[in-house]
Homo-oligomer: A and B are copies of this chain.
Amino acid sequence: MDKKLKLLEVFDNSHPDREYTVIHEAPEFTSVCPITGQPDFATITIEYVPDKLCVELKSLKFYLNSYRNDGIYFENVTNKILDDLVKVCKPRYMLVTADFNIRGGIASTVEAEYFKE
């Protein structure tokens, strides 16, 4: 199992019969540009409808911090965070949004969604 994935912990959803929404906004995400080695900064927002499991907040912090010195592209990191979180908490729905700070005069945002089939 992937080292990053192991950082994520879940707990039982206390209201599994109700369809409700949880949003976590993490404005202190940072990783490294895989080409220049210079740091990138983003706000990561995770919105999801839990099924049987919820993401534990402190473990989410450690998971996001683990990207600090990883070289990874904007599009990649957003999709990977979505894949990892879906894997551990199997939600009914999830949307991951990553708003990256201006680089070369351009700000970039990537949004990726998961719908339970």
Residue A75 lies at the interface, judged by CB distance under 8 Å to chain B: yes
- Contact check: which of B20, B24, B28, B65 meets A78 at CB < 8 Å? B20
Contacts of A3 in B (CB 8 A): none
Is A15's beta carbon under 8 Å from chain B? yes
Interface 0/1 of A87-117, CB less than 8 Å to B:
0000000000000011111111111110000
Q: How far is the CB of A61 from chain B (nearest CB, A)?
A: 5
Query: In whole angstroms, what is the CA distance A103 to B27 when docked?
Result: 11
- A15-71 with Cβ < 8 A to chain B: 15, 18-28, 30, 38-39, 41, 50, 54, 57-58, 60-61, 65, 68-69
Inter-subunit contact A22/B105 (CB<8 Å): no
